[in-house]
Structure 1
Amino acid sequence: MLILLLTYYLSQSAHIKAGPIPASIELRDVGSCDGQNSQRSLANIVGSCLSTIFLCTWVAVHPNIHFRAEKENQRWIEKWLWEPLHEIVTYKLPLFLWALLVPEYILSWAVRQYLQAGVISKQVPRWTRTHGHFMIMGGFHLFRLPADAPSIPLPLKSSESSSLVIPTGDHLREDEIPVCPLKFEDIPIDILKIIAPTETELKDRGKSDDLTKIIVLVQTLWFVIQCIARGTQSLPLTELEVVTLAYATLNLFIYVFWWDKPRNVECPIRIYKTSAASHEESGETAGKWGDDLGVGWIEKIVGYIVGIQDHYVTMSEKRSIPMFWSGRIKTSLQFPGGIGPSILGSAFGAIHCIAWSSEFPSRSELVIWRISCVAMITVPLMVTIICAVAVANERKEIPDAWMAFILGIPFVILLLSVWLYIASRMATLVVAFTALRSLPPAAYTTVDWTTFIPHI
């Protein structure tokens, strides 16, 4: 509703401040039947941009499974109104805001999951990357059976009994007690081969198919083509279109890395243990953040920026898979996988420089836009340097004595500018809308597509 009111206000302001359309443009509009350019309205510009941004920030995101335990004897208002609203506010809306304000972080998350899914898929016979994605996104959840429920242990290849069981008696599923999501290391490969669905079954669990993804990609690509066509004909892009172009460009890469990941899966596969069986995590013990308030916050900020936060998660203490969980990726993949997204993050900021010399309604908006562009390029660039130095150190190409000196400068710049980056993202969005109140007349001119088609 607020966006609609803002659009209406801006459309009225545009008609008042932009003034009459020059006669040259009016003539081109009259001659549109002869292949000349016609006019577009402010509503067309805003509608196209908002729909594309929505595709890039809501539809394109492939969340992990947000498990919620079922409750008995729920009232209808709680089941059909409160819980869906609670899910949107506490989980889907924060993801949307992350994709809106820090889209390159969503890309780095997609890259980490893509790499880890490939590693997992190679360890189980006939598994694909889709299986790896499903494992990472919390596809298997541990439950305890009721005390009186009969079961038999799942067999292992070594003929030994496993602590995981198959229920064989009659009991209500509502009586099963959820424990925690399971990592790949928590389930023996012999059992995964038995209980894991096929790739077709996994894709059936998702809420979108390949055709839906292709349609979204085509719509996003069409917006990019329109922007390129306007540039070739020397037609200006509005600041809102520049922002949308940056989202659309990054969205193409996000979709590539998440193509095999099932989208919006809500229910994991249940893995059982008896009520008396204990559960201990397999694999490495999770690390601990610093106890000091200042050092701990700095450690967390840097950890989340470079994507190593999963090494500090104790899964047995969680009731659902963490929002940005990607698995504990090995260092040999962690930092090389961070270089590409951070470079694209700088490119995302650089795209905003298309409007560097645009006609802004005021000098202050021009200054804010340029400062924001510099911040959005600098912060991802510092992450690129940190990841590149970490890769070089892993390969023993940089002496340890030089590490602190080389990492010191980008590390300090990153800590000082990370909040400026968030403010810059918000500033560009605000300026993109406020600048609509006074657009140059040429911004309303549409692309003359006949110039791209060979004709006599």
Structure 2
Amino acid sequence: MTLLPLAILLCVTFVCASQPSLNGTCVPSLDISDSPSRSDTRTLWDILWSCAATLFACAWTAIHPNIPGMKEGKLTITSRRLLIMVMALIAPELMITWAARQFFSARAAAKEFNDEFGSQHAQAHGDHGDIAESTATLLREISELDERSTPKAAVRNFREWTMAHGFFAWMGGFMLNVDDKPRATLDPDELLDFVRKGSMDMPIITEAEIEDRSKGDGLSKGIAILQLVWFVLQLIARYAQNLPITLLEIDTLAVSALTCITYCLWWKKPKNVGCPYTVHWKTTASPPSNLAYDESNITHALGCDCFPYFTYLTYPITSLMGFEVTISPRAARSHRVPSLGGYGGYHDVIILLIGCFCGIVFGGIHCLGWNFLFHRQTEQLLWRTASLMIICSPVPILLCSGFFMSGIDDSSSALIFIIKISLGIASVISALIYIAARVTIIVLMILSLQSLPSGIYDTVAWTNFFPHV
């Protein structure tokens, strides 16, 4: 019975396209061939171009990929970014969970380094501030600290870490070289541990240097923001003047709204960094082992388990949601972090709440098409049902994850075991229903372009918003 809504959505969506119009449900509409060409109206291509430009500007600008691997070509890098952008357009709430995980991970990394070395650095300078003014002899003694004492050297060379440093570290910003050969990318925990033990020197890189490596510029950001603002103003103006809005514009508004949240979470993340910062392993220390992104330690990879094709299909979802980040052999050989990874396990409950809330908002925005003049009543019913299912689908997932994160672990209890199985099945079904509802929304958008309501091509009379004679 729980699979009934899923079957209804999939079957009726594709059947309704071939059904004739129901009696009494047709509305005055315009076909694509009836698209006007007067100067005071807009055409179908104007609508398509406006939505495509807004989606591309928001998604392309918001995506901040991790640092690519060594010797990877521009085609590979661009293709990977395009795939991430497509995922952002299809499932923007998953991109928000990824960005939120990186945000909290970057903040935690900056705090850990500042707590470890920042207070000692401030104390060292505070203890000797007066001596520097009174005697040059003691100043030289302070400046000539014992180089063999790595913790002291780390404290002396430390510069305060910011969010940019945290993002840079998690996205693969520090490459470990052993005997002048690249070994693996270090995550912040490994970097902190090696510096603390004196196996390497503290990397000295300022926030300005990190921003200099970033290729994000204010012009592209400004253009994207202006395009989005203009798109939203047009929708508000059309609503104020009782002009109809297409379903494509509603979906564009929903995707753009969630993409802006992703953009805010990644505001301090460097964009399109081409190469990492090299840190060198000291020859006096034994070579490291069991590195997170070391090729020799990759024992589980895509295509190496019993269900390779299933892993290929599910690893983007599991990685973005933080369940499990799969490190492929290709990523390990290229000395880079996974394309959809680059974060730690911080604030899982908060991130889950953020993702579910964004999914509810995404469905709520689609409810703006509740009274859209569909060509068939069946299509209107499907749109309303799909919008409500998108709103309700995150709830079972939230309950399931909350139960597993509550710390309840009583394998001997049959009731707890039944609850876990039931919640797990409910979460899988909810995910399938969400996917079906999202596909339904996309199909209905395409079908709606075949016959649009009258008035859809009328442009906004901007002069009505300003007093004039």
TM-score, normalised with respect to structure 1 = 0.71
Which residue does 1:106 correspond to in 2? 95
Amino acid at match of 2:171: M
Which residue does 1:16 correspond to in 2? 33
Name the SS for the 1:143 alignment partner: strand
Change (3 A) 1:194 1:273: closer
Which residue does 2:353 correspond to in 1? 339
Amino acid at match of 1:413: A
Which residue does 2:367 correspond to in 1? 353
Which residue does 2:435 correspond to in 1? 422
Change (3 A) 1:266 1:453: same
Which residue does 2:400 correspond to in 1? 386
Range 268-277 or range 308-317, more displaced:
308-317
Aligned residues: 379
Change (3 A) 1:419 1:454: same
Distance 1:430 1:266 in 2: 39
Q: Spell out the pairing of 1:138-217 with structure 2 (5 A cutoff).
A: 138-145=172-179, 177-188=181-192, 189=195, 194-210=202-218, 212-217=220-225
Change (3 A) 1:415 1:305: farther
1:86-145 CA-to-partner distances (Å, cap 9, x unmatched) read 4333x2232122112111111111111111111111122311101101111111122333
Which residue does 1:45 correspond to in 2? 47
Amino acid at match of 1:320: R
Which residue does 1:34 correspond to in 2? none
1:323-376 CA-to-partner distances (Å, cap 9, x unmatched) read 12132214xx11222201221112112211222332234455445534432443
Deviation at 1:311, TM superposition (A): 9.3
Deviation at 1:271, TM superposition (A): 2.4
Q: Spell out the pairing of 1:207-246 with structure 2 (5 A cutoff).
A: 207-210=215-218, 212-246=220-254
Which residue does 2:63 correspond to in 1? 61
Distance 2:341 2:262 in 1: 16
Deviation at 1:257, TM superposition (A): 0.6
C-alpha contact 1:353 1:373 (8 A) present in aligned 2: yes
C-alpha contact 2:320 2:340 (8 A) present in aligned 1: no
- Identity across the alignment (%): 30
1:309 paired to 2:324: yes
Change (3 A) 1:305 1:186: closer
Amino acid at match of 1:228: I
Change (3 A) 1:84 1:303: closer
TM-score, normalised with respect to structure 2 = 0.69
C-alpha contact 1:306 1:387 (8 A) present in aligned 2: no
Deviation at 1:394, TM superposition (A): 5.1
C-alpha contact 1:238 1:443 (8 A) present in aligned 2: yes
Name the SS for the 1:179 alignment partner: strand
Which residue does 2:86 correspond to in 1? 97
Name the SS for the 2:31 alignment partner: helix
- For residue 280 of structure 1, the aligned residue among 275, 278, 289 is 289
Which residue does 2:274 correspond to in 1? 266
Amino acid at match of 2:89: L
Which residue does 1:413 correspond to in 2? 426
Amino acid at match of 1:432: M
- For residue 135 of structure 1, the aligned residue among 169, 178, 181 is 169
Distance 1:337 1:375 in 2: 21
Q: Spell out the pairing of 1:115-126 with structure 2 (5 A cutoff).
A: 115-125=104-114, 126=160
Distance 1:286 1:122 in 2: 29
Deviation at 1:262, TM superposition (A): 0.7
Change (3 A) 1:195 1:318: same
C-alpha contact 2:165 2:210 (8 A) present in aligned 1: yes
Deviation at 1:216, TM superposition (A): 1.9
* Root mean square deviation of aligned Cα: 3.9
Distance 1:422 1:338 in 2: 18
Distance 1:249 1:301 in 2: 22
- For residue 326 of structure 1, the aligned residue among 314, 338, 342 is 342
C-alpha contact 1:104 1:345 (8 A) present in aligned 2: yes
C-alpha contact 1:339 1:387 (8 A) present in aligned 2: no
Name the SS for the 2:269 alignment partner: coil
Change (3 A) 1:68 1:427: farther
Change (3 A) 1:406 1:344: farther
1:264-289 CA-to-partner distances (Å, cap 9, x unmatched) read 11211122347995322479x99989
Distance 2:357 2:395 in 1: 7
Which residue does 1:151 correspond to in 2? none
Structure 1's unaligned 5+ residue stretches are 1-12, 30-37, 71-82, 147-176
Amino acid at match of 2:166: G
Higher RCO (Cα < 8 Å, 6 or more apart): 2
